Amino acid sequence: MNEDKHKGEWIAKVMARAGLCSRRDAQKWIAAGRVMVNGKVIDSPALSITEHDKVFVDGKVLPEKQGTRLFLYHKPPGLVTTHKDEQSRSTVFDNLPGYLPRVVSIGRLDLNTEGLLLLTNDGELARFLELPSTAWTRKYRVRVHGKVNEKRLESLKNGITVEGVRYKSIDAKLEKLPEGEKRVRAGANSWISISIREGKNREIRRVMEALGLTITRLIRTDYGPFSLGKMTRGSVQEVKTKVMKHQAAKFFDKNKGKKDKRG
């Protein structure tokens, strides 16, 4: 077993790049005793391995790294973004087409949020695109019930603190009704377009509640350069390799020349 980090790669990273799970989940699996290297169960991710080491996860040999692939998925509401749910709720991964390889999500959408979710068979790409330094903008359309104060929406550009949590700049604009239409009463449903970079847990829901608004529908329309477009609920589209490498050029440039070439 090679423990010289200069001659190999951390085992959690290798597991993630094989598309088995995210690096964070790999660390949890290792701590749970699910990973064996060269016939011995390991309990720490602080291990560097090479192509000569034999790795088994849950008794199965670690799959070989395949070319990196990226998919757009229109997540319906009512699905959780996890591989296994403790409450036995239906998951995104239970509902994907059978022809897809094993994939992990790039970020998450909560149970009742719908719209664009990025999926990849490369856990390292997922980790890279989730990093704050990557800072891809996420765009949403939000249907709210309540009286919208446009000045308060505008003030969100300066950030807001809700129950002790500080949220950075949020670009929020009230969508105008088609000409000729008028709101029949104060507090009718309105649509707001929101763009964020930070993406903290339930950020939009908490901020809208702080403004006295109740969300009745939340749709992610864009994640960085990728858009939902006219995709129907539950549908999947693969991003062309050339487009993927162009949009995530920093990631592929960083990994250029590695032995496990990415697609």
CATH number, position 91 = 3.30.70.580
Alpha-carbon radius of gyration of the chain: 21
Is 155's pLDDT higher than 80? yes
Dump pLDDT digits (tens) for 179-217: 555 554 445 789 999 999 887 888 999 999 999 999 999
192 in any annotated domain: yes
Query: Over pLDDT 70: what percentage of the chain?
Result: 90
* Measured distance CA(57)–CA(11) in Å, rounded: 11
If one compares 102 and 187, the residue with the highest pLDDT of the two is 102
Residue 68 near residue 245, CB atoms below 8 Å: no
213 and 236 assigned to the same domain: no
234 and 112 assigned to the same domain: yes
Residue 32 exposed, middle or buried by CB count within 10 Å (0-12, 13-18, 19+): exposed
Question: Whole-prediction pTM value?
Answer: 0.76
234 and 122 assigned to the same domain: yes
Can you give the pLDDT at residue 182?
A: 55
Domain's final residue, options 38, 61, 84: 61
What's 169's domain CATH number?
A: 3.30.70.1560
DSSP 81-122: SSSS-TT---BTTTSS-TTS-S-EEES---TT-EEEEEEES-
214 and 249 assigned to the same domain: no
Full residue range of the structural domain in which residue 23 is found:
9-61
Q: First CA to last CA across the chain, in angstroms?
A: 29
201 and 96 assigned to the same domain: no
84 in any annotated domain: yes
196 and 86 assigned to the same domain: no
118 and 239 assigned to the same domain: yes
21 and 78 assigned to the same domain: no
Query: Which of the residues are catalytic?
Result: 110
Is 132's pLDDT higher than 60? yes
260 in any annotated domain: no
165 and 103 assigned to the same domain: no
* Measured distance CA(91)–CA(241) in Å, rounded: 27
